[in-house]
């Protein structure tokens, strides 16, 4: 399995035609309107993941998706992916809801498809929109 796209957003919707509609796509920062001296509020996260099956990939395989902050796992989702057409992309829309990050800073994502581990280069830095009063002195 080859990872083609990994997009972090607020919500993934699927139209009647099968097309995916992404709402609130993030770049490399996720900015919250909360004071920097308090823990960040829970953050709504969704993911659009596009995979391409390779010839040797099994038709059905386990999938494990996790979110990490440092060495702490914030979220884990386990399921199965079934390849219906080897010539088509495998499009996954994961609406996971609210995630409680522990502090401002970097989070990273990891996905396992069977025994293969994908650690997308995409990560997010969580930061406050409100300037830190201590940094002004």
* Strand 29-32, strand 123-128: pairing: parallel
Question: Among 18, 16, 15, 7, which Cα is nearest to 88's?
Answer: 18
pTM more than 0.85: yes
For 59: left if phi > 0, alpha if psi spans -120 to 50, otherwise beta; the answer is: alpha
CATH 1.10.1740.10 fits 2-129, yes or no: no
pLDDT per residue of the chain (137 residues) written in tens, 0 to 9 = 888 999 999 999 999 998 999 999 998 999 998 899 999 999 999 999 999 988 888 888 899 999 999 999 999 999 998 888 888 898 999 999 999 999 999 999 999 988 888 877 778 999 999 887 555 54
The answer to whether the CB of 53 falls within 8 A of the CB of 84 is: no
The answer to whether the CB of 120 falls within 8 A of the CB of 3 is: yes
The answer to whether the CB of 31 falls within 8 A of the CB of 129 is: yes
């Amino acid at each position: 399995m080859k990872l083609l796209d990994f997009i972090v957003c607020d919500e993934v919707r699927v139209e009647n035609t099968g097309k995916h509609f992404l709402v609130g796509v993030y770049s490399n920062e996720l900015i919250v309107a909360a004071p920097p001296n308090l823990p960040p509020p829970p953050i709504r996260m969704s993911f659009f993941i596009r995979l391409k099956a390779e010839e040797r990939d099994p038709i059905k395989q386990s999938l494990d998706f996790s979110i990490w902050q440092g060495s702490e796992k914030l979220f884990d989702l386990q399921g199965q992916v079934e390849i219906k057409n080897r010539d088509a992309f495998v499009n996954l829309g994961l609406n996971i809801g609210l995630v409680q990050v522990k502090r401002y800073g970097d989070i990273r994502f990891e996905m396992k498809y069977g025994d293969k581990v994908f650690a997308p280069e995409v990560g997010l830095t969580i930061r406050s929109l409100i300037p830190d009063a201590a940094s002004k002195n």
